[in-house]
Amino acid sequence: MVAVLTIEGLAKSFAGVRALDGVDVEVHEGEILGLVGPNGSGKTTLFNCVTGFVRPTAGTVLWKGRNITQLAPDQIARLGVVRTFQQKMVFPRATVRENVEMAWRGKRGGDTGQQFKSCDDLLDFLGLAHLKDRLATDIPFGSARNLGLGLALAANPRLLLLDEPAGGLNQDEGQELADLISKIKELGITVWVIEHDMPFIMSLCERIIVLHVGKRIAEGRPAEVANDPNVISVFLGEKFAKDSAT
Amino acid sequence: MVAVSRSFAGTLLRQYPPADILTIRLPLAILLALPLLAPMLLPSTRLLSLAITAAIFLIVANGLHIVFGYTGQLSLAHTTLWGVGAYTAALLAIHYGWPTAALIPAAGISAAIAAVAIGIPAFRTAGFSFAIITFAFAEILRTVAINWRDLTNGGAGLMLRTPPTSIGPIEFETIRHLDNFYYLTLAFAYLSLAGVFLIRQSRLGRTFIAIRENESLARSLGINVYLHKLIAFGLSGFFAGVAGVFLLYNNQKIEPGPLSPFSAFFTIQFLLMILIGGRFSMLGPTIGAVIAVFAPEVIRPLIGLTPLGDLSTARIQIIFGSTLVLTVLFAPNGVAGQAKERYGALAAALQKFRERQGGAAPPGAAAGG
Ligand SMILES: Nc1ncnc2c1ncn2[C@@H]1O[C@H](COP(=O)(O)OP(=O)(O)OP(=O)(O)O)[C@@H](O)[C@H]1O
Ligand SMILES: [Mg+2]
């Protein structure tokens, strides 16, 4: 197991709120790693720190041994670490094909280059070929979600960070997405995925990290994590809070 | 008879899909070629002068389109760059006698350099702050133009009495050869249009639009947003600078007064042109520039103003303001956007008609839904 991404002691405070509080993570080459945790536990902030969108207060991020903590988002993306967003994941006033063209990045120095032969090839892979001339605002939500994923793929990633890709999808769409993510893994791309939906993440990931108020409280194989008493108390607590709120 | 002609129409429509030749390419080509006939069609020298103004405005507006329309950055220094081009050309022509063919790239490059110089600090910020900083730079340049008397001759400005350099026997002197000067300006107007078209088709243009549409997303995909904003601003400055040469020849002077490129009036007017013409359309600025120049001509008799003398600036602004309000209400994507929508409806209707005629599904038709 080779660690491609190593996060050490990562911390981030927003005006006194500790969104991340000394998080350590290793992402292994070729795996699908899950990141779960209640709302506001710092999952998106962790991705933001890794991809340069947010400057961490402390800690380091190493990508293949290189310190990328202070790099700008576009530099990090060009090194092969590409993320998706929870919302606003496409370019609305451009066609589906133009969207992919905008994101398209060919060979990267020294690397093997694109997994896909062309933008059309990628659109086929995503099952979006029939929508390619439509404006991105006009396509169904599930397709837009796939397109968002496609943009990240077009940018020629080695590590893909997916922020709640299954949010708002129904069960069938969720299953399709899980299949797509497995296919992405088969292309040799490492995947790190945030998700609320436990069944989704349990079936998809080999390994899961659990975040709670900015701290990593558990890590391991899905079955181990699911039986971890800390995790159970956090998630039961969340469920209890939700139930009592409604 | 009716049945025959109907099936003929059906065949024709099948052969030429509506999205193609008959309904869009041909009318568009005719429309774009129409300005070539202006010297023959326009009944007076005054109207031809207005057509020249429209052609110059169009170059400026196409430049603004790159930074504002494509890249989504609200620059309030754009018309100032137009003035920078005009001053550059005036200085080089007056002091060094440069020919037109050298003035055009020189003015373009100097305005592009000014744009990049403004952009380097201004693009550290975004949105309103960016707009305010560009406005501040515009004011600084205006103050320089007024106060650096040795260079700019202050508020009186610089005079240029020499017409554009002749090309062989073709002269461009604006009193005796106004139509030649018109064609020269028009050629550059067409070039500016070709320029925005080529940029829109290129990877660079797609990158600009990606930045306009979603800056964070663009950045997450490896696009250097800051650098590309500078490139867009530099290109827009180049267009403005080139237009400055024609402004200079047309007015035979450049000065920093209230109706010059340095005025807030023009800053606003050019933004309005793009909004009215359509900021998401390639032809938006062209349509906006033509409307800006000719609308007062059409409106003047309608509102019964004195036929002699020009509309005052204030009145033009009132007209423009109301046009903008109407545009926002009835055509939020501008005239060009509205036309596209209408065309979409027309194409859909034709499509339906065709399907009823032929039955067979057209090849490559957009999926329904
Ligand atoms: N830019 C910001 N400014 C201020 N506070 C922020 C900012 N970004 C995140 N936070 C705070 O940091 C904490 C963690 O937020 P984050 O978005 O990382 O949670 P999350 O785990 O992604 O939640 P969700 O499941 O709802 O997406 C929250 O308390 C949030 O309010
Ligand atoms: Mg989140």
Q: Measured from the CB, is residue A19 less than 6 Å from ligand 1?
A: yes
Residue A21 domain-assigned?
Answer: no
Size of interface A-B (CB pairs under 8 A): 75
Residue A62 domain-assigned?
Answer: no
Can you tell me the mean pLDDT for A24-53? 95
8 A C-beta contact, residue A68 and residue B187: no
Range of the domain at A89: 30-55+67-245
* A23/chain B closest Cα distance in angstroms: 22
The CATH number covering residue A131 comes to: 3.40.50.300
Tell me which of A109 and B59 has the higher pLDDT.
B59
Contact call for A91 and B213, based on CB within 8 A: yes
Residue B300 domain-assigned?
Answer: yes
Laid out side by side, the sheet with A17-28 consists of: A17-28, A3-14, A58-63, A66-67
Q: Measured from the CB, is residue A37 less than 6 Å from ligand 1?
A: yes
Enter the tokens of residue B161.
């009495």
The span from the CA of A197 to the CA of B179, in Å, is 71
pLDDT confidence of B346, banded at 50, 70, 90?
confident
Q: Which of B221, B282, B333 to mutate to test the interface with A (most CBs of A within 10 A)?
A: B221
Q: How many Cβ atoms are within 10 Å of B90's Cβ, its own excluded?
A: 26
Q: Measured from the CB, is residue A214 less than 6 Å from ligand 1?
A: no
Q: How many domains does chain A have?
A: 1
The span from the CA of B103 to the CA of B110, in Å, is 10
Angle between helices B264-277 and B78-96 (to 10 degrees): 120
pLDDT, one tens digit per residue, over B285-320 is 999 999 888 887 777 666 655 444 455 656 666 776
Can you tell me the mean pLDDT for A62-79? 95
Asked whether the predicted pLDDT for residue B159 surpasses 80, the reply is yes
Residue B147 domain-assigned?
Answer: yes
Q: pTM for this structure?
A: 0.88
A17-28 and A190-194 as β-strands: parallel, antiparallel, unpaired?
unpaired
Which ligand number lies closest to the CA of residue A43? 1
The CATH number covering residue B279 comes to: 1.10.3470
Residue B18 domain-assigned?
Answer: no
Range of the domain at B53: 43-356
What is the biggest distance separating any 2 CA atoms in chain A, rounded to whole angstroms? 55
Give the closest residue (by CA) to ligand 1 atom 12: A19
**Number of residues that this document lists for chain B:** 369
Residue A16 domain-assigned?
Answer: no
Can you tell me the mean pLDDT for B219-228? 97
Q: Is A73 on the interface with B (CB under 8 A)?
A: yes
Nearest to A101 by CA among A151, A158, A160: A151
Q: Is A90 on the interface with B (CB under 8 A)?
A: yes
Closest residue in B to A51 (Cα–Cα)? B220
Residue A61 domain-assigned?
Answer: no
b/e sequence A147-160, b meaning 16+ C-beta within 10 Å = bbbbbbbbbbbbbb
Residue B11 domain-assigned?
Answer: no
Q: How many domains does chain B have?
A: 1
Provide the terminal-to-terminal Cα distance of chain B, rounded to the nearest Å: 36
Q: Where are the alpha helices (DSSP H) in chain B?
A: 2-15, 26-33, 38-41, 45-64, 78-96, 100-122, 127-147, 149-152, 178-201, 203-213, 215-220, 225-251, 264-277, 284-302, 313-330, 334-358
Give the closest residue (by CA) to ligand 1 atom 26: A39
What is the biggest distance separating any 2 CA atoms in chain B, rounded to whole angstroms? 80
List of chain A residues whose C-beta atoms are within 8 Å of the C-beta of residue B225? 74
Contact call for B221 and A91, based on CB within 8 A: no
The span from the CA of A197 to the CA of A171, in Å, is 10
* A127/chain B closest Cα distance in angstroms: 14
Residue B114 domain-assigned?
Answer: yes
List of chain A residues whose C-beta atoms are within 8 Å of the C-beta of residue B217? 85, 88-91, 151
> Cα separations (Å) of A90 from A96, B39, B357?
9, 47, 39
The span from the CA of B75 to the CA of B234, in Å, is 12
- DSSP letter (8 states) at residue A41: S
pLDDT at B342: 76
Q: Is A85 on the interface with B (CB under 8 A)?
A: yes
Asked whether the predicted pLDDT for residue B345 surpasses 80, the reply is no
Enter the tokens of residue B68.
């504002």
The span from the CA of B185 to the CA of B173, in Å, is 13
- The interface pTM score, or ipTM, of the predicted complex is 0.92
- Least-confidence region, from A72-76, A111-115, B214-218: A111-115
- DSSP letter (8 states) at residue A115: S
* A120/chain B closest Cα distance in angstroms: 15
Asked whether the predicted pLDDT for residue B89 surpasses 80, the reply is yes
pLDDT at A124: 92
Residue B13 domain-assigned?
Answer: no
List of chain B residues whose C-beta atoms are within 8 Å of the C-beta of residue A130? 367
pLDDT, one tens digit per residue, over A93-132 is 999 999 999 999 875 444 555 678 889 899 999 999 999 8
Contact call for B220 and A85, based on CB within 8 A: yes
Asked whether the predicted pLDDT for residue B4 surpasses 70, the reply is no
Give the closest residue (by CA) to ligand 1 atom 8: A45
pLDDT at B67: 97
φ/ψ of B105, rounded to 5, equals -65, -35
List of chain A residues whose C-beta atoms are within 8 Å of the C-beta of residue B334? none
Residue A19 domain-assigned?
Answer: no
Which ligand number lies closest to the CA of residue A41? 1
Contact call for B367 and A83, based on CB within 8 A: no
List of chain B residues whose C-beta atoms are within 8 Å of the C-beta of residue A162? none
8 A C-beta contact, residue A158 and residue A80: yes
